[in-house]
């Protein structure tokens, strides 16, 4: 007697029931609300929106809940939903200079128009577990001086905050921002990618690429694999208006605001035969507050531009096909995890081959032995 590995319908149903039970956890505790997730696990929600490529806080919170906190699973849920949505058109490019800034730091200038604005950040916190949070406190009391966490979040509107790269650009010290030639950018969710790709396609792929993957690649560029001496010209995080121009209406209208993090790096460039030495840019833009991702993206983006800047190739982060083909975590997780699907048939074929080759090997050894004995 044996137990067949072939499961089937009922097994799936039972597994799903069990999943739902585990997700709910102890029923004596209240079920976590989507508003709680959206308000208190904001960075998880932000990451799901960023890599899910869909700005919808409510759905992202739902996905986080449905996925039991597994963010890649949540991203996957969002992507599968996003793909069914019709396209009404494309928004106008976001004007990040007009951002209502909640945080803005520059590593290249001590002070600059608009100033530095620390905003909500883990930077400079002591990474000490704060047990007051476990008792329903708001945290931040013991070790952050006296700044109460209940202080309202301010956003500075008084002074305009020009982008650092624009300041550099006025002096001609940094390459110009690419011209907008008016063509619709390639949409990698609507058309198959064919290598080599243009910069807009690269940026799209990176913007929805896996944070951990880009972090590792970005890190590798700092350690000498395609080093480009980056400075963080600026990171800014805040609210930007999304403007849509409906051809039927003939005027622009605001669809509301989205929160984004933008990182512009200023990188060294020795100059080429045709270009005098000047700084170059790496660019990162992500939904929500995802600084680590935005910075990593900028580093990798810059590394990928080696060809256009006439730099030496050879580092992993410069390899466009490699970087872009593997940056999507929904693709990656699907294909890695598909290994747990049945492969009986192929395995049977391999089993058969290995047995046959072992038998042949045995036969050869036996024959060799006989020959030796005969000699």
Query: Residue 163: which of 228, 240, 91 has the closest Cα?
Result: 240
Burial of 183 (0-12, 13-18, 19+ CB in 10 A): exposed
Between 165 and 202, CB nearer to other proteins: 202
Options 14-22, 121-129, 175-183, 297-305: segment touching other proteins (CB under 8 A):
14-22
Q: How far is the CB of 15 from other proteins (least distance, A)?
A: 5
Between 343 and 366, CB nearer to other proteins: 343
Between 125 and 348, CB nearer to other proteins: 348
Options 54-62, 175-183, 199-207, 291-299: segment touching other proteins (CB under 8 A):
54-62
**DSSP three-state, residue 136:** coil
Q: How far is the CB of 257 from other proteins (least distance, A)?
A: 9
Interaction residues for other proteins, span 250-269 (CB under 8 A): 259
Q: How far is the CB of 205 from other proteins (least distance, A)?
A: 13
Backbone angles phi, psi at 282, to 5 degrees: -120, 145
Options 39-47, 126-134, 215-223, 276-284: segment touching other proteins (CB under 8 A):
39-47
Interaction residues for other proteins, span 354-373 (CB under 8 A): 357, 360
Interaction residues for other proteins, span 333-352 (CB under 8 A): 333-338, 341-346, 348-352
Between 8 and 145, CB nearer to other proteins: 8
Interaction residues for other proteins, span 294-313 (CB under 8 A): 310
Burial of 38 (0-12, 13-18, 19+ CB in 10 A): middle
Run of H or E including 103: strand 100-105
CA pseudo-torsion sign 188, 191, 193, 196: negative
Options 93-101, 129-137, 155-163, 329-337: segment touching other proteins (CB under 8 A):
329-337
Q: Cite the DSSP H helix spans in the chain.
A: 9-24, 34-40, 42-52, 57-66, 71-82, 131-134, 164-170, 199-207, 211-222, 291-304, 320-325, 329-337, 344-374
Between CA 153 and CA 156 the distance in angstroms is 10
Total count of residues recorded for the chain: 375
Q: How far is the CB of 227 from other proteins (least distance, A)?
A: 23
Buried/exposed code over 227-236 (b: 16+ C-beta within 10 A; e: otherwise) = bbebbbbbbb
Between 52 and 169, CB nearer to other proteins: 52
Interaction residues for other proteins, span 15-34 (CB under 8 A): 15-20, 23, 33-34
The 3 state secondary structure assigned to 211-268 is: HHHHHHHHHHHHCCCCCCCEEEEEEEEEEEEEEEEECCCCEEEEEEEEEEEEEEEEEC
Interaction residues for other proteins, span 109-138 (CB under 8 A): none
Between CA 335 and CA 328 the distance in angstroms is 11
Interaction residues for other proteins, span 220-249 (CB under 8 A): none
4 counts as binding other proteins under rule CB under 8 A:
yes
Residue choice 13, 229, 270, 365 for contact with other proteins (CB under 8 A): 13
Between 13 and 92, CB nearer to other proteins: 13
The pattern of x and - marking residues 79 through 108 that bind other proteins according to CB under 8 A reads: xxxxxx-x----------------------
Between CA 14 and CA 217 the distance in angstroms is 41
Interaction residues for other proteins, span 182-211 (CB under 8 A): 189-196
């Amino acid at each position: 007697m044996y137990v067949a590995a072939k499961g089937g319908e009922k097994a799936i149903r039972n597994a799903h029931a069990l999943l739902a039970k585990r997700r709910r956890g102890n029923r004596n505790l209240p079920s976590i609300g989507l508003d709680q997730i959206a308000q208190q696990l904001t960075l998880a929600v932000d990451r799901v929106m960023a890599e899910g490529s869909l700005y919808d806080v409510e759905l992202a919170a739902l996905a986080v809940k449905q996925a039991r906190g597994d963010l890649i699973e949540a991203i996957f849920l969002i992507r599968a939903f996003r793909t069914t949505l019709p396209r009404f058109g494309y928004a106008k490019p976001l004007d990040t200079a007009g951002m209502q800034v909640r945080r803005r730091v520059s590593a290249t200038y001590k002070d600059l128009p608009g100033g530095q604005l620390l905003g909500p950040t883990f930077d400079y916190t002591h990474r000490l577990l704060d047990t007051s949070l476990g008792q329903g406190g708001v945290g931040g009391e013991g070790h952050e001086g006296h700044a109460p966490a209940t202080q309202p979040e301010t956003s500075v509107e008084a002074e305009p905050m020009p982008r650092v790269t624009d300041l550099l650009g006025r002096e001609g010290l940094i390459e110009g921002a690419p011209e907008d030639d008016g063509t619709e950018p390639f949409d990698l969710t609507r058309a198959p990618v064919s290598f080599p790709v243009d910069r807009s396609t690269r940026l799209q792929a990176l913007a929805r690429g896996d944070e951990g993957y880009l972090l590792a690649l970005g890190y590798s560029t700092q350690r000498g694999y395609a080093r480009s001496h980056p400075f963080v010209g600026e990171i800014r995080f805040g609210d930007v208006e999304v403007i849509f121009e409906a051809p039927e209406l003939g005027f622009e209208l605001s669809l509301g605001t989205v929160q984004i993090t933008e990182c512009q790096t200023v990188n060294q460039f020795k100059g080429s035969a045709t270009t005098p030495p000047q700084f170059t840019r790496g660019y990162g833009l992500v939904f929500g507050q995802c600084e680590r991702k935005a910075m990593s993206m900028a580093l990798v983006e810059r590394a990928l531009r080696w060809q256009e800047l006439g730099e030496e190739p050879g580092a992993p982060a410069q390899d466009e096909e490699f970087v872009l083909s593997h940056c999507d975590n929904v693709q990656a997780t699907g294909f890695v995890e598909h290994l747990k699907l049945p492969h009986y048939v192929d395995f049977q074929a391999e089993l058969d081959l290995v047995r046959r080759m072992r038998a042949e090997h045995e036969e050869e050894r036996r024959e060799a032995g006989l020959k030796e004995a005969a000699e």
